[in-house]
Copies of this chain bind each other. A is one copy, B any other.
Amino acid sequence: MASPITSQENATYFSCACQWLRQLPKKSCKKATNVAKKIKKSGQDDPRRITHSLKVGFALTLVSMFFYVQALYDSFGVNALWAIMTVVVVMEFSVGATLGKGLNRMAATLLGGFLGFGVQQLATLPGKTNQPILLAIFLFIIGAVMTYIRCIPGVKAKYDYGFSIFILTFSLVSISGYRNDESETLELSCKRLFTIIIGSILSMIVSACIFPVWIGEDLHNSVAKNIEKIGDFLEGFINDSFNVSEEKNEKSFAEEYESVLNSKTKEENMANLASWEPRHGKFQFNHPWKQYLKVGNSTRQCAYKIEALDYHIKSKIQITHELRNKIKDTCQHICLESGKALKELSLSIKSMKCLSKTNYKAHIANAKEAIESLSTMLKSNLSGGVVEVNLLEVVAIAAMASLLMDVVISIERISEQVDELASLAHFKSHNNNVHEDQTKATRTRPLPLLREGIMKRFFPRDKMPHHHNNRIHESSICSPKQNRSSTIEVIVQ
């Protein structure tokens, strides 16, 4: 009985093995295809990665000439390996990062070498036997102190690499002094410094001259792009939001919002690296990179307000259909104008021109005007006959007007930051549209006045329907944010 079972088991194992073997090429093929897809996608997402790789290959090949060319090898010898190490370590994706690392490395090697040589000289004074003890003590103290300074947040952000190289050079020079004599150590240190300088400069030149990736430009574009994104969203916002049949729009905003929100760390890092970059293209030396962070912060603040508005509007507001249509047009107008203002601001950053400054101010003014017309609607509803229902509508409209006002205020804040950026970065001004200036500027008026004004103008206290006055001035309204309360207080008083 045992024999057939065993042979059956064997047959099962065999067939399993066969199946595994048969599936192996298929599985490997699938895995290889996946990996290949990932590799391809990485290049498609940012084709500059390909040029960067070729640049690194080129710089490496160039620096390897230190070994192949006899004249170079004669003067530097094995120390040429420091040049190769430098190229591998210093060559980064962006010019800013490469320059930062290169300058850090050169300065740190110089200073670390000096200190190391000094300490080594000092340690020889008490005699050969005490030298290693003194050297070890110095190494411990300086290693610990420099590591501590390296950990300080402000230092870590910009000079982390420099401190690491400082400790490295100091250790190598001070320790190797124990085995070599003075002149040997000095020669070695000098050759190392030279090759490191050569490697760093070569990396910087290749990085900055062959298809350079300017991180400052990336920051510039990213900030402009984020403003454009929320502008785009606002333009299509009300239209999509009033027809809440499909929920995909909500999802899409959350996604875009997420990318704007998560930009903070990325932008800070970019600004840090951009500060190493020299003058290039449209960007002067000492371009106000920090100002971009302020614009980015205002943009994120604005995105928060839009989310609150989104939150409010997507809640299937059950207003009578006629009023809904009336509101829809006005709200659409406000959002359109706000979106246009944002896109103008984005364009102003992108093109580095002040030309659209008056345009976006006009758009903001238009948006405010439209908010005013929304309050006119409030007036007509309050003076209408059927009180209870209209009151609810008034609450909804007041809340929406309030939220829209918040969005417009935050757009104004962005515009102020962009204006500051324009003056700091000397954006080109256009004199062509002075005329436009004069015609459109009349539309703008100070915001706080407007805010208090609209309600008071339409509902002077003595002209309010009197039967409300007693009870409603204390009644509850579902309106967010304290700074909007005055608006609403006036409506219902």
Interface residues of A (CB under 8 A from B): 38-39, 42-43, 49-50, 52-54, 56-58, 60-61, 64, 67-68, 73, 78, 81, 84-85, 88-89, 93, 132, 135-136, 139-141, 143-145, 147-149, 151-154, 164, 167-168, 171-172, 175-176, 178-179, 244, 247, 250, 261-262, 264-265, 304, 307-308, 311-312, 314-321, 323, 386-389, 391-393, 395-397, 399-400, 468, 471-482, 484-485, 489, 492
Contacts and interface: CB of A to CB of B under 8 A. Distances in A.
A312 B392 contact: no
Given A54-B144, A147-B56, A479 B315 contact: yes
Contacts of A393: 475-476
A64 B136 contact: yes
Contact of A262 (B89, B247, B265): B265
Nearest to A43: B148
A307 B303 CA distance: 14
A201 B311 CA distance: 54
A443 B135 CA distance: 71
Given A395-B478, A475-B318, A485-B316, A57 B147 contact: yes
B308 A311 contact: yes
A315 B264 CA distance: 28
Given A89-B164, A140-B61, A392-B395, A476 B53 contact: no
10 contacts: A42-B153, A53-B144, A60-B143, A84-B172, A262-B264, A316-B485, A317-B478, A318-B474, A318-B477, A319-B476
Contacts of A42: 148, 151-153
A58 B250 CA distance: 56
Nearest to A141: B57
A320 B474 contact: yes
A53 B151 contact: yes
Nearest to A89: B164
A81 B481 contact: no
Contacts of A39: 148-149, 152
A481 B480 CA distance: 14
Nearest to A300: B261
Given A315-B482, A317-B477, A168 B88 contact: yes
Copies in the complex: 2
A148 B484 CA distance: 53
Contacts of A468: 388
Main SS at interface, chain A: helix
B317 A81 contact: no
Given A395-B392, A472-B389, A475-B320, A49 B148 contact: yes
Contacts of A317: 476-478
B262 A139 contact: no
Contacts of A67: 175-176, 178-179
A230 to B, nearest CB: 17
A43 B149 CA distance: 10
A399 B471 contact: no
A393 B391 CA distance: 12
Which of A49, A318, A321 has most chain B Cβ within 10 Å? Answer: A318
B319 A475 contact: yes
A485 B176 contact: no
A61 B136 contact: yes
A478 B399 contact: yes
Contacts of A88: 164, 167-168, 171
B478 A154 contact: no
Contacts of A57: 139-141, 143-144, 147
